[in-house]
Chain A
Amino acid sequence: MTEVQLLQTIGLCVLGLGGALLLFVKARFVRVVAFVAIVLGAFTLVSLSIPQLASLPPAMEKFDVASIKDKKDLAGIGQKIFFGKGQCALCHTIGTSEGRCPDLKGIGAKLTRQFLYESLTQPQAYIYMDYQHVGRAKFFPAKMPYINKKPIGLSNNEILAVIAFLQSMSGEEITVDLSEIEAPRDVVAVMGDKVAGQKAFQSLCAKCHSIGGTRGNLVPVLNKQSDAAIRRAILTEPKTGSKDHQSLGRLPVKEFDDLITYLQDVKATAKPL
């Protein structure tokens, strides 16, 4: 007997017992209890009659580089990630037009590998508006999430595997080379979006700071500090009388990560003045 069958049996028993009590017992309190039991039993039975979907945590696919013999293996791992950890199938379909986001049938043939990578890691960089098959092209309100950031947080290897799967299922040649797959590290760096981070910098920091400008130039400061120290400094070192840094504490985690990514990028590219 499956779990659903067991619960259905219990629900039916509760209904039967409640009905019997209503029929044969005159005590008001017991009748009310029986009435409540019938309502709850009926609710349970209705709930058991709809599709039973459990939300399982993403399968922790061990990305064993040694086990990947050819590109087919890589595409196989990508397929598991597509339907598992990547949660792509939550919104995208393959071959039907009933998803809430673009159908991905043949997407590997339509788009280049670079475009696919950008769509996964910087989904707002280019908005594909022509996915509505009828009527006027329009923005879809559901924005594509950043796949390389939390809560999905695919590693670079995993993203490449997904691209390999998309190309493979479109009948295209897989252009991801096995040499691109890196040995997995213990901790997957969760990268923010530097473009979004730049915007955050403009709105939150540019009042007092600049990058390479005359007022509050941060480049020398960034060059002297480690990443952890930069992060700590932003959160803990407001100037006397200034509450600006304190307001950063109300930023969603994602936006803060974006800001840090932008500053790290500045640090990596800017020359010390």
Chain B
Amino acid sequence: MRYYTRDGHFSWKLVPYILLFLMLILTFAPLASTFAQEAPAGAAVEYRDVPVMGSRNLIWVVAQQHLLLAGFVLGVPIFAWVCEIVGVRTKDPRYDKLAKEFTKLLTSAYATTALFGGILLFLLIGLYPKLMNYLTDVFFPSFLVYSALFLLETATLYLYWYGWDGMQGRKKGIHLFLGFLLNVFAFFIMIVPNSWATFQASPVVLAEGSMWARAWAATWNPTWWPVNVHRLIANVVLGGFICGAYAGLKYLMAADQDERVHYDWMGYVGNFIGVFGMLPLPFAGYWLMREVYQYNQQMGITLMGGFLSWLFILQAMLIGILFLGANYYFWLGIMYRIPGSEPKYRRPILIMLVILLVCLGVWMTPHSLVASLEEARKMGGTHHPLLGVFGVMSAKMTVANLMILVTFMSFIMYWRAGKQETAGWAKAARNVMGGILGLAAIVVVVLGVWGYFVPAITRINYFSTTQVLVVLFVLLTVTPLTGLLLKSAKTTTEMVWGVMPARAGYALVLNAVMVILLMTLMGYARSSSRVHWHIYGVMQDTSPYAYSPALGYAAALMSLNTFLFCLMVAFIFWVASLGGGKGDVSLEATPEEKKRMKTPVTPTPIPAAGLHRQ
């Protein structure tokens, strides 16, 4: 790293690292001060505070950084391993190289995740001793299990990473098995702490049996598995989009065409993984909310209809932008990577864009509008006479499913672009797929409209579930059918990598920021749904911070957390690049790869956003 450019000027590349350093100092500096809250003589300390920042905010920042890093570290091995398998199956070295690059990011982030985990633990013990005593009493056996899992995960990760080159050829099977083990351990590392957090939200009665029996009873609480499934998928989404953003950034900063080709392709894979995970994520979220309602209806109402209801408008906005960003990237790919495809796809892309925007508008329409007294009088209440119709769950479930269908269509369109199906049954298959898609959209809309005229319980239990199943059916039938169809297809236009405009890189970064913000937002929702309880209904929060701050304040902290996380990830990846650079994971395309990618021979500059395509 140069501190000054060749012409002697200060290197702007240093700025984010200086900022990161300053932010870390600012974050932890308050700890140096004396703790404010001391226990009266003879009484056990229940809480300690941190001046200026407050203990709750400090825990919020550190826990959020740890969770985001953990999400990345646990999500990446899944698709790194899948990429490696694809490489073995297709004998395409690009996938093995990509898997190795993913793992390289993983190894860099792993230690930082553990570091933040340790800091979080120390802070929790110090600042919330009463809660931690209780949780330790209940969960001590799982602390031991967690430690053992961590040891196994670390050992496996080192073997997996450092053995990459040594385990090629005949030993590749062993390496793949290590990747499998890595994911198994990672999965258990995720679900063990999930039990601690979900127990706080949905505690169960604890028998006075052995410590293992008590820990197991507390672990198997009603929201444990819904959260496990939701987080597993969300981690893949987070990992995919962060890798996409990393590739987008590297693409923007690429010095030569080889790098540009590589990172363009990596960005495409990252975005694909993110979208792939994003499609089933709302279903997992829906299951989680159902379980929350079943466990405690009041908690469900606090989330969906109480003071947190506006949070879901923000969630809709973020998910909507994420859907738009992911689709936009697909559309740019069609336009730029497949020469000559623009006239053919311009119209369907425009239609899809309109559908997405309309859906986003409906999803973001609040149930009660922010209106002045005068405006409310004119409307006859806080519900707008027309827009109020879109503020209810029936409309939102419908548009969410439609957006998933449109995104899926974008992906299928991208997949099929530049290819001509040669199978004799191709026409029939296309008609079937079109029929399935069209019919599914009609069923989703009809059920959505019908949902207004049936009791809510019927809508929730039957209509919404049917909508979800219909969309899943589309995903599970059209994907393999398209795969079969393209197996024998003829490529009419070769894909050209490394010619995407700069805005594609920004779209990848935007998607990652949206996912991170979403995770911070929903983390706040999950935590706030417990209102003034550390452990809902069991242990009350009696600290000065036993309240949930308003959304504006919370959003500012979420933004700060997201910014810190982005800077930290950039820093970690930069550190990782210092060690090996191109040597570790060669970005130099082999002649075979160059041929496959149809790369332009001469390096070309990245077109600036909004400029003409090359």
* Assembly CA distance A197 to B368 (angstroms): 39
**Which of A29, A39, A57, A140 contacts B16, CB < 8 Å?**
A29
Query: What 0/1 pattern do residues 5 to 27 of A give for CB contact below 8 A with B?
Result: 00100110000000000000101
CB of B556 within 8 A of chain A? yes
CB of A55 within 8 A of chain B? yes
Cross-chain contact A41 with B252 (CB below 8 angstroms): no
Cross-chain contact A43 with B517 (CB below 8 angstroms): yes
Closest B residue to A31 by beta carbon equals B252
Known contacts A56-B547, A235-B205; is-contact A48 B298 (Cβ 8 Å): no
What is the interface residue range for chain B against chain A?
35 or more
CB of A150 within 8 A of chain B? yes
* Assembly CA distance A253 to B299 (angstroms): 14
Cross-chain contact B205 with A98 (CB below 8 angstroms): no
Known contacts A141-B460, A145-B298; is-contact A235 B455 (Cβ 8 Å): no
CB of B457 within 8 A of chain A? yes
B518 → A minimal CB distance (Å): 11
* Assembly CA distance A164 to B562 (angstroms): 49
Cross-chain contact B563 with A40 (CB below 8 angstroms): yes
Closest B residue to A50 by beta carbon equals B310
Query: Which residues of chain B are within 8 angstroms of A112 by Cβ–Cβ distance?
Result: none
Cross-chain contact B510 with A47 (CB below 8 angstroms): no
**Which of B220, B222, B297, B567 contacts A143, CB < 8 Å?**
B297
CB of A111 within 8 A of chain B? no
Cross-chain contact A46 with B205 (CB below 8 angstroms): no
Query: What 0/1 pattern do residues 87 to 101 of A give for CB contact below 8 A with B?
Result: 100110000101010
Query: Which residues of chain B are within 8 angstroms of A90 by Cβ–Cβ distance?
Result: 298, 301-302, 305-306
CB of A58 within 8 A of chain B? yes
CB of B506 within 8 A of chain A? yes
A23 → B minimal CB distance (Å): 13
Query: Which residues of chain A are within 8 angstroms of B202 by Cβ–Cβ distance?
Result: 252
Query: Which residues of chain A are within 8 angstroms of B381 by Cβ–Cβ distance?
Result: 96, 98
Cross-chain contact A46 with B314 (CB below 8 angstroms): yes
A185 → B minimal CB distance (Å): 18
B308 → A minimal CB distance (Å): 8
Cross-chain contact A253 with B13 (CB below 8 angstroms): no
Closest B residue to A33 by beta carbon equals B16
Cross-chain contact B207 with A54 (CB below 8 angstroms): no
Closest B residue to A55 by beta carbon equals B548
Interface segment out of the listed A70-78, A204-212, A215-223, A242-250: A242-250
Cross-chain contact A151 with B298 (CB below 8 angstroms): yes
Known contacts A141-B460, A235-B207; is-contact A252 B548 (Cβ 8 Å): no
CB of B204 within 8 A of chain A? yes
Known contacts A51-B310, A250-B217; is-contact A142 B301 (Cβ 8 Å): yes
Query: Which residues of chain B are within 8 angstroms of A46 by Cβ–Cβ distance?
Result: 314, 317, 555
Name B476-505 residues within 8 Å CB distance of A.
505
CB of A188 within 8 A of chain B? no
**Which of B205, B220, B563 contacts A248, CB < 8 Å?**
B205
Query: Which residues of chain B are within 8 angstroms of A33 by Cβ–Cβ distance?
Result: 15-16, 566-567
Known contacts A28-B253, A32-B509, A236-B208; is-contact A250 B220 (Cβ 8 Å): yes
* Assembly CA distance A232 to B13 (angstroms): 64
A194 → B minimal CB distance (Å): 17
Query: Which residues of chain A are within 8 angstroms of B234 by Cβ–Cβ distance?
Result: none
Query: Which residues of chain A are within 8 angstroms of B556 by Cβ–Cβ distance?
Result: 7, 10-11, 44, 47-48
Name B525-566 residues within 8 Å CB distance of A.
528, 531-533, 536-538, 541, 546-556, 558-559, 562-563, 566
Closest A residue to B222 by beta carbon equals A252
Cross-chain contact A138 with B310 (CB below 8 angstroms): no
* Assembly CA distance A53 to B549 (angstroms): 8
CB of B12 within 8 A of chain A? yes
Cross-chain contact B513 with A28 (CB below 8 angstroms): no
Query: Which residues of chain A are within 8 angstroms of B213 by Cβ–Cβ distance?
Result: 246, 249
CB of B456 within 8 A of chain A? yes
Query: Which residues of chain A are within 8 angstroms of B283 by Cβ–Cβ distance?
Result: none
* Assembly CA distance A248 to B252 (angstroms): 58
Query: What 0/1 pattern do residues 145 to 172 of B give for CB contact below 8 A with A?
Result: 0000000000000000000000000000
Name A84-139 residues within 8 Å CB distance of B.
87, 90-91, 96, 98, 100, 138-139
CB of B110 within 8 A of chain A? no
CB of A52 within 8 A of chain B? yes
CB of B383 within 8 A of chain A? yes
Name A143-158 residues within 8 Å CB distance of B.
143, 145, 150-152
Cross-chain contact B207 with A245 (CB below 8 angstroms): yes
Cross-chain contact B205 with A249 (CB below 8 angstroms): yes
Given contacts A36-B566, A47-B556, A150-B538, 5 further A-B contacts (CB under 8 A): A33-B566, A46-B314, A55-B547, A57-B532, A141-B456
A-B pairs, top 10 by smallest CB distance, nearest first, are A47-B555, A249-B217, A57-B532, A235-B207, A48-B552, A52-B550, A40-B559, A256-B205, A55-B548, A27-B12
Provide a sorted-by-A list of 20 A–B residue pairs whose CB atoms are within 8 angstroms.
Answer: A4-B552, A29-B12, A30-B15, A31-B252, A32-B249, A33-B15, A33-B16, A36-B562, A44-B552, A46-B314, A46-B555, A52-B552, A54-B549, A55-B307, A56-B547, A151-B533, A245-B207, A246-B209, A249-B209, A250-B217
